[in-house]
Chain A
Amino acid sequence: MNQDRRKFLKTVFHSGLAITVFPSGVFASEGGNSNLYAFIVDTEKCIGCGKCASACREENNVPKDCYRTWIERYRIMENGEVKVDSPHGGEHGFEPVKDTGKVEKAFFVPKLCNHCKDPNCVQVCPVGATYVSKEGFVLVDEKQCVACGYCIQACPYGARFLNPVTNVADKCTWCFHRVKQGLDPACVTVCPAKARLFGKIDDVNSSVHKVLKEKRLQILKPETGNNPMAFYIGLDKEVR
């Protein structure tokens, strides 16, 4: 009886630790898939230049007013007020603003599809048009999508949109077509501040491997249980 209880408590303790420190099973050595990729956004490095968003639009022919990636600017005022903006998705950078009160802290947060491990969008797609590739990329089969919009509603991050040209659900693919050729996603390539990192989780030479092993990371909206594979460094509590 006591043995059982000890075993149970041990399991609970280890599970708790695993959840707190890092989402379990990310590394192959922890029972994960060795082909998986991860994306890391360092909000402490992002300068809000918008190069990533415009490179994405060019690389992927993203239609006007639709965004596969965007940058949010946060200004947290002395009185606690939080001001957030993202004009044109931050694609053209950010104009300086004159705030009346004192800005306590300000920072940029790039956003994109999180390519979740347990994606809600894949769960709700009624025809299986949205799926997870063996490398962990969440993709859309344009020929299968009926454009019902259920995935758009189900994504808690606002990462999906209805492409007005193809008339199907669209989103960031982490530039799957480039990655297949051994290249990094366009946004990662053009980032002058190295605020975006991408690579194979288990590849010791990849830019993400060491960061994943050593840094304390956050994910967006962990309460949804979607288990994003995009991790953030320096995420403020005000970011949703």
Chain B
Amino acid sequence: MHEIITQGFLFPNEIHVHWSLMIVLYPYITGLVAGAFIVSSLYHVFGVKELEPIAKFSLVGAFCFLIFACTPLLFHLGHPERALNIMFTPKFTSAMSGFGYIYAFYLLLVILEIWLVFRPDIVRLADKGKGIVKVFYTVLALGSSDVSEETLKVDRKITLFLASVGIPSACILHGYVGFLFGSLKSNPWWSTPLMPVIFLLSAIVSGISVLAVSYVVVMKIKKQPVDNACLKSLFTYLWAFFILDVTLESLEVITMLYESHEEWHIISQMLTQKLGFSYIFLQMSVCSVIPFIMLGFVVLKKMKNSTRNTLGIICSVMILVQVLAMRWNVVIGGQLFSKSLRGLTSYTPTVLGREGLLVALVLLAAPFVTMYIFNLILPLWDKTDAKAEEA
């Protein structure tokens, strides 16, 4: 147990930070979902052909992150066994009460879209398989074994519809997470109408980044070349969204500084004394400025593909760190100063325990393990895998 160091005066119940590391992870993982889904929609809805190589991957990625988006909450809740009360006995004046429904709707939508996209593969594997494998894929096909061009056309139409509905849903899902914080008028660090927008933009950049990094890692493992056009397209979108994201994150604090309401006194102390590393160094300096400039070069300047990809991936990793730092700074930062505006507390996550670092690492790794298992069941890299099988 780390010692809690306090400065100044805090209300006696404020010494402990109640929303811990798990509540940092919750918007982080949810953000990866929204970002990954938007990448998949860029291909399915907006017809960005360059992104075809990762269209399936991004959709499955969104699904794998989505099924773990709520787990940090379950680790945090004092009574996780009552978690479903939020859907069974909701109180709609609460911003939180809608989450269960939005989440469930979105999960259903993603599962349906995945099933449609993978249906030809499911049918192919059912035809090819024997014994229990055949039974498994036949069940997965849900009795729909017709893969004629005509039915596939219908599938594509429905997929297009679902992906179109999915875009606003992804935006709502993550904008909503930002709203949970932004609508709390008791906390001047959270209470800003910019919060949902910032959450959404940071979600998109983190989603694009995680896909870019995962794609390159997977291709390295598979010893296959990456699709340079696909990566360049990802980096272009990443840069565009990151410009907006960093601008709004900066504007938020600049506005607070310029207005200098009475709470600015304690917020500025919190930023400099408590979040010096995670906010000033990571979020607003190193992991913002470097990717901001470097991505500009990656996108605008002519260079060797390998150089571009390396630089782009470095930026993506930095952006993943930047967004994680941003989540930390919002969630933890908002609890480090007293509502008396007269004191600061501290928070260091434990290594073990229900809300410790170890659990956090497992939760962050879980979606990738799920992706691996998914790939064993249904091929994520169909073109390359199918070709390899034919050979």
Contact = CB atoms under 8 A, between A and B. Distances in A.
A70 B12 contact: yes
A197 interface: no
Nearest to B340: A240
A147 B79 contact: yes
B339 A67 contact: no
B237 interface: no
Interface in B342-379: 342
Contact of B186 (A84, A111, A120): A120
Interface in A148-176: 148-150, 152-162, 167-168
B213 interface: no
A79 to B, nearest CB: 17
A24 interface: no
B89 A128 contact: yes
Interface stretch (B92-100, B119-127, B223-231, B321-329): B92-100
B15 A144 contact: no
Nearest to A66: B13
Interface string B1-19: 0000000111111110011
Contact of B95 (A89, A124, A224): A124
B144 interface: no
Contact of A65 (B15, B19, B82): B15
Contacts of A225: 185
Given A126-B96, A127-B90, A147 B78 contact: yes
Given A144-B89, A158-B11, A224 B186 contact: yes
A149 B75 CA distance: 13
B18 A84 contact: no
Contacts of B9: 72, 84-86
Contacts of B180: 150
Interface in B71-129: 73, 76-80, 82-83, 85-86, 89-91, 93-97, 99
A84 B12 CA distance: 12
Contacts of B15: 65
Contacts of A167: 78-79
Contacts of A85: 9
B187 interface: yes
A111 B94 contact: no
A153 B96 contact: no
A125 interface: yes
A125 B184 CA distance: 12
A158 B90 contact: no
Contact of B82 (A82, A89, A127): A127
Contacts of B317: none
B172 interface: no
Nearest to B18: A149
A84 B342 CA distance: 8
Contacts of A66: 13
B341 interface: yes
A225 B79 CA distance: 30
A120 B77 CA distance: 20
A162 B89 contact: no
Q: Chain A CB within 10 Å — which of B11, B13, B89, B180 has the most?
A: B13
Contact of A111 (B11, B77, B96): B11
B338 interface: yes
A95 to B, nearest CB: 16
A68 B211 CA distance: 48
A240 B8 CA distance: 14
Contacts of B340: 84, 158, 240
B12 A67 contact: yes
A106 interface: no
Contacts of B18: 149, 152-153, 162
Interface string A113-147: 00000001011111110000000000000001111
B91 A156 contact: no
Contacts of A153: 18-19, 184, 186-187, 334-335
Interface of A: 65-67, 70, 72, 82, 84-86, 88-89, 111, 120, 122-128, 144-150, 152-162, 167-168, 224-225, 240
Interface of B: 8-15, 18-19, 73, 76-80, 82-83, 85-86, 89-91, 93-97, 99, 180, 184-187, 334-335, 338-342
11 contacts: A86-B12, A124-B93, A126-B86, A127-B82, A148-B78, A150-B180, A152-B13, A159-B13, A161-B13, A162-B78, A225-B185
